[in-house]
Amino acid sequence: MSSTTDKLKGLANEAVGNVKQAAGKATGNDKLVVEGKAQELKGEAQRTVGEAKDGIKNVADKITGR
């Protein structure tokens, strides 16, 4: 996956996770709250991977003079 794809998927997972958490809290569904938190964390990890890919590319570009 490209860094942009990783970041976009990460943001989407974070958003869906937050919605699940809110819905779970509103309905008293602890399982949904936990699922939402897990999905939010997955999204944060995906976004971090995308940002790391950008950082590595920037360093490689500087080294190669691009």
Residue-level pLDDT at 58: 85
Instruction: Supply the range of the domain harboring residue 52.
Output: 3-64
Contact 51, 9 (CB under 8 A): no
Residue-level pLDDT at 49: 95
What does the pLDDT look like over 6-65, one tens digit per residue?
Answer: 999 999 999 999 999 999 999 999 999 999 999 999 999 999 999 999 999 888 888 998
Residue-level pLDDT at 61: 85
- Residue 66: pLDDT over 80: no
**Number of domains composing the chain:** 1
Look at the pTM and tell me if it is higher than 0.85: no
